[in-house]
Structure 1
Amino acid sequence: MTEGSPLLDITGCVATLTLRRPSLRNSLTDDDLNTLLAHFEALNKNTAVHVVVLRANTTAQKQAVFSAGYNVNGFDNEPMAPLFFEKIPEALEGLRPVTVCALNGSVYGGATDLVLACDF
């Protein structure tokens, strides 16, 4: 699996959202946050989806890290994160489908809010 923005895969009634930046411990950039919001909007509109699984690709890591939160390198580029990042867990918590976090590693920073925003 290549690195990049969070990937949305829908198979039947199950949608899987995968964080895909293992070389940076799945930290999230401003673009990733926008992608997640777009995926959340699409999932709310797709009534065929009943369950959303949030997971992370940890294959390129010595020690599995689900997510290290916001990528602090973005602070050099007038980041949206301080005010914008909080919209992500709120939107995840408000999703119409049931949400499940397949936590497969440690979690840090704002990413803990993502994990806690899931139903299970």
Structure 2
Amino acid sequence: MIELEKDGGLWIATLNRPEKANSLTEDMLVRLAEIAEAAQQARVLILTGRGRAFSAGMDLEAAKTGLPTSPVWERLSTAIAALPGLSIAALNGTVAGGAMGMVLACDLRIAVPEAKAFYPVMRLGFLPQPSDPARLTRLVGPSRARMILMAGQKISSEEALGWGLFDRVVAPDALLQTARYLAADTLAATPEHVAGIKGLCR
């Protein structure tokens, strides 16, 4: 349910469970974490999905087995944030719930116009992943972070772009092409140059 394509220094990980809106099981999360940890060797990691949603978050059946509090969520987002190369979330549709963690950990977020972002932890009675509120606040500011986490608002792509949660909104047929375009300079540079510039941006 997680596809991995490698093209030199470019790795593309695709969530492929469209019949369940790419909702995440523990096995899927572990696989994504393994990919992110191994991608220390890559120059660019792109995360995307198949179907109309990037991910609806946690699988409802998996929620009954303790997945909401599993450390694998934080393992995944920590591995993405630690990448010395460029990480891009190419959102083919809505991102919800725990799936926000890996998206917030990416360096860039591009999305299709239909994409929305929401993180209904208040309504569901869960705490967000430990590092997510700080990452979200750095992107959109404290009031807007509360709008998402405490008021449970669904943020449209247009609003997300204005807030700085999304960096670019593109047509669906241009999503991966745009991600590859954004990756081009990083792919052409040496790993040392890439890591050096990324370090200056932290």
Q: Distance in 1 between matches of 2:5 and 2:68?
A: 25
Aligned equivalent of 1:43: 39
Kindly state the Cα deviation for residue 89 of structure 1 after the two structures are TM-superposed: 1.4
More helix per residue: 1 or 2? 2
Q: Distance in 2 between matches of 1:90 and 1:34?
A: 13
Q: 1:31 aligns with which of 27, 31, 45?
A: 27
More strand per residue: 1 or 2? 1
1:100 aligns with 2:88: yes
Kindly state the Cα deviation for residue 35 of structure 1 after the two structures are TM-superposed: 0.6
Aligned equivalent of 2:15: 19
Larger Rg: 2
Give the structure, 1 or 2, with the largest relative contact order (CA under 8 Å, sep 6 or more): 1
Q: What is the TM-score normalised by the length of structure 1?
A: 0.81
Aligned equivalent of 1:61: none
Q: Distance in 1 between matches of 2:54 and 2:27?
A: 18
Aligned equivalent of 1:83: 70
Q: Which runs of 4+ in 1 moved over 6 A?
A: none
Please provide the CA RMSD for this pair. Answer: 1.4
Q: Distance in 2 between matches of 1:97 and 1:7?
A: 20
- Structure 1 residues 23-32 or 91-100, which shifts more? 91-100
Percent of matched pairs sharing the same residue: 35
1:117 aligns with 2:105: yes
Gaps of 5+ in 2: 109-202
Q: What is the TM-score normalised by the length of structure 2?
A: 0.50
Equivalent residue pairs, number? 107
Aligned-partner residue type, residue 21 of structure 1: R
Kindly state the Cα deviation for residue 81 of structure 1 after the two structures are TM-superposed: 3.7
Kindly state the Cα deviation for residue 54 of structure 1 after the two structures are TM-superposed: 0.6
Aligned-partner residue type, residue 20 of structure 1: N
